[in-house]
Amino acid sequence: MSKHVVYLSYDGLTEALGQSQILPYLTGLASLGYHFHIISFEKASDFEKRKEGVYQSIVKLNISWHPSIYTKKPPVLSTLYDLYKMHAKSKDIIQKFPIALVHCRSYLPAIIGKGLQKKYKIPFLFDMRGFWADERIEGGIWKLSNPLYRLIYKFIKKQEQLLFEKAPAIVSLTENGKMAIQEIYPNLKTGQKTFVIPCCVNLKQFKRDENLEEIQRLKSKLNIPLSDKILVYLGSIGTWYMLDEMLIFYKCQLKKNPALRFLFITNEKESFIHMKAALLEVPTDKIHVVSVPYSEVASHLSLADYSIFFIRPTFSKRASSPIKQGELMAMGIPIICNDHIGDSSQIISQNAAGVVMEELTETAFNAIDLEQISFDQPRVIAAANTIYSHEKGITSYTKIYANLIGTHE
């Protein structure tokens, strides 16, 4: 007999994040007999483009999907309205089905899950994803100088403590994040009920394409000479990624190797990246920017000889597990990154996966020789299979579910 689970997410299944970090887990768990009732909030443009694909991927599984369109304006009030809809739909499902668990992705759904646990005695899983309120402050999204956001921050931090206290189980993306919880809330004894599951990767999809003809075709399409080597950046730039520092690193390496190209696989505008490069006196004719569907990311990564990501090393990033790291390691691409980001430095150092930089200065950048960095490709790919496989993530969630609601009858 299936165990029914309500899954609450303020992220959409039709977003790239939903495609890589929600659906693979839930389809895997559904195949083991869990029946999911997913409540998600979708960006309108993503929803129209990808909803049929999502429906087709779940049509034969024990998954019922209840999408709502994410409300963006006005700030704060729109979020409250969305949460009202999430709560109302949750109650409706609980009243119709024998729900055994509410799985909450991040803070706002978990606040709803905590209330449902109190009213209906149904356990909730706090899948925290990161220190959400601190991310908003450190990313400049909420300004503490604004009385409203200062009040919201204090409210969320109070709720954070209650979530860690009341949740029967917590999922952290990193060991570093788990330790941070214990340091901040030593009296809550969270250690025994906090489990670490990093952002996992579709290892079947992220494999290097060794087809020389395909590599030649893509390089030609991007106007990159076949003999040139490529430094790649994958993903959005947004709030956290240090574009200036990455461009300066490339500028320093370009002096050593004029045939080195910088490829951005991103949805960011090429004009923005080129503008930043021009301000830093980095040749824009050697910088290539391409936006591709998720299904084509791996083939473009196959062009890369090296990869880079620099992330602002703030407190909240202790709980960060960059999705790109698992994808790059699975592809066997050397990584250059900075220290103090989740478990990244430990994983990269322990598995000879590239270079972890303690300082992001021109002196430090000039000291790096890309041709001489410590890198063991077979070992790195093996580590990716051990650490980041979706199968391992699904197994971890299965154990948590069993602890919370028992095994299947």
Q: Walk along the chain (409 residues) in steps of 10 and give the mean pLDDT of each run.
A: 92 93 96 96 93 94 96 93 98 97 98 98 97 96 96 98 98 97 95 96 90 91 95 92 97 96 96 97 97 92 97 96 97 97 96 96 96 93 96 96 75
How far is the C-alpha of 166 from the C-alpha of 104, rounded, in Å?
A: 13
Looking at the 3D structure of the chain, how many domains does it have? Answer: 2
How far is the C-alpha of 81 from the C-alpha of 71, rounded, in Å?
A: 8
How far is the C-alpha of 234 from the C-alpha of 371, rounded, in Å?
A: 21
Q: How many residues does the chain have?
A: 409
What pLDDT sits at residue 239? Answer: 84
What pLDDT sits at residue 398? Answer: 96
Please indicate, yes or no, if residue 108 is contained in any of the structural domains.
yes
How far is the C-alpha of 131 from the C-alpha of 143, rounded, in Å?
A: 16
Instruction: Answer yes or no: do 396 and 271 share one domain.
Output: no
How far is the C-alpha of 3 from the C-alpha of 401, rounded, in Å?
A: 10
CA distances from 404 to 247, 300, 401 (A): 47, 41, 5
Whichever domain contains 242, its CATH number is 3.40.50.2000
Please indicate, yes or no, if residue 207 is contained in any of the structural domains.
no
Instruction: Answer yes or no: do 20 and 166 share one domain.
Output: yes
Please indicate, yes or no, if residue 274 is contained in any of the structural domains.
yes
What pLDDT sits at residue 153? Answer: 98
Please indicate, yes or no, if residue 63 is contained in any of the structural domains.
yes
Task: For residue 104, give the nearest of 79, 77, 122 by alpha carbon.
Answer: 122
Instruction: Answer yes or no: do 190 and 260 share one domain.
Output: no
Where does residue 73 fall: left (phi above 0), alpha (psi -120 to 50 degrees), or beta otherwise? beta
Instruction: Answer yes or no: do 42 and 183 share one domain.
Output: yes
How far is the C-alpha of 313 from the C-alpha of 240, rounded, in Å?
A: 9
Please indicate, yes or no, if residue 265 is contained in any of the structural domains.
yes
Instruction: Answer yes or no: do 278 and 371 share one domain.
Output: yes
Residue 23 dihedral angles phi and psi, to the nearest 5°: -60, -45
Its domain, for residue 128, covers 4-200+389-405
What pLDDT sits at residue 1? Answer: 65
